[in-house]
Amino acid sequence: MKNLKLKAARAALDLSQQDLADKVGVSRQTINAIEKGDYNPTIKLCLAICKALGKTLDELFWEDE
């Protein structure tokens, strides 16, 4: 499932995928794969992304039914 909440939060801060990747220590391709729903990140990576974007786990990764 695509993570549009992550993409929107990143865009709201005017960060490119590469900018976010640099902040959390992964490749741009990893951020792209998470946004496309092709990669399920570890909880450690989820927390790093949340911290970088100023969001909570629920705000970025919880799937509404």
> Can you list the domains of the chain with their CATH numbers?
4-59 (1.10.260.40)
pLDDT above 70: residue 65: no
Number of C-beta neighbours around residue 18 at 10 A? 13
The pLDDT tens digits for 4-59 are 999 999 999 999 999 999 999 999 999 999 999 999 999 999 999 999 999 999 99
State residue 51's pLDDT score.
98
Q: Which long-range contacts (CB under 8 A, 24 or more apart) does 11-14 make?
A: 13/53, 13/54
User: Distance between CA 9 and CA 22 in Å, rounded?
Assistant: 16
